[in-house]
Structure 1
């Protein structure tokens, strides 16, 4: 699963990175400032159809009558194509969720996962969006974990390789598939600051705990 993540690549740098996957990229509402402890129900940026937009992290399907109940911030890849909460978005509303890394807890201690140990490199998670209750909202797919980070947690976000992104956005059926091994081999895990457990804490030192 993924319940906290980090995105500090912002402004033109985020637009430039997204431009690798779209001929033109715009952010009509701007891009958010750097965030080091994004949590469910908060606003996150998503990339859809070449536009970076703010969305609630926690899907609001068209049939939702209010925002009560557990937020749908993760969608299991194995059942996303058939589960009522996600199947419409899976068929028609794909997006990308950018992040510089995410947090996971192992033996009650927070860990930070990034790509290649270079925190500035973006990771692209497979996302779905909806517009229920008149709001843009999103969720990210999760899968079984795999080496080299299977020890960390039994679930993880479904990250997309550059080669997979066009197929994902085009609606190809990828339910149940795992993050490619060649991408996973570059993941690095290190201890994070315990203060990340409080969502009110949001600063760079959270990802740079003393070793």
Structure 2
């Protein structure tokens, strides 16, 4: 899966969508500073939707901005020392990988997006040259929700706590497979 995506949908768009299904959506009061056309990249804050009460799914969801690049709860050093690439968790190992298994059991979320970016090597590409940027989107700019996990850690440089998230990825669908093997 990508390490860059876009969410060209305002909080009100998400609230309207969930209200159609009778699902309450609580929106964090702090409005994000990100422009809707600005790509989201690893370590940046982005919107996720998580259950208000995991024991009562019908209680609704809350919309919060978390850091993209999951830092596991067991990490105690500074955030910069967590070097394992954890922007994406593979569906094949998410239940057993030490970085993700606790979040997989207890802290799932939805990540709203309208497109994601994959980079490919065009014909004749040579190392050092820029890759081709491919934006994968859906008809009409529809909002999609990818499966995700969130975690709360207390690294040395965030004694008040740091909440972060990751996508769950699987084998690519046929329309994405020519560009990337996962989505």
Same fold (TM over 0.5): yes
Where does residue 113 of structure 1 map in the other structure?
Answer: 136
- For structure 2, the residue ranges without an aligned partner over 5 or more in a row are 52-60, 122-130, 155-160
Q: Which runs of 4+ in 1 moved over 3 A?
A: 18-22
Distance 1:20 1:83, change over 3 A: farther
Deviation at 1:70, TM superposition (A): 3.6
Deviation at 1:71, TM superposition (A): 4.3
Question: Cα RMSD (Å) of the superposition?
Answer: 1.6
TM-score, normalised via structure 2 length: 0.78
Q: Which structure has the greater CA radius of gyration?
A: 2
Write the distance in 1 (CA, Å) between the matches of 2:175 and 2:87.
24
TM-score, normalised via structure 1 length: 0.68
| Mapped pair 1:96 → 2:117 | no
Distance 1:136 1:20, change over 3 A: farther
Distance 1:46 1:22, change over 3 A: farther
- For structure 1, the residue ranges without an aligned partner over 5 or more in a row are 157-211
After superposition, what is the alpha-carbon deviation per residue over 1:21-57, rounded to whole angstroms, capped at 9, x for unaligned? 6621111234434243100000001001110001000
| Mapped pair 1:149 → 2:176 | yes
Give the total of aligned pairs: 154
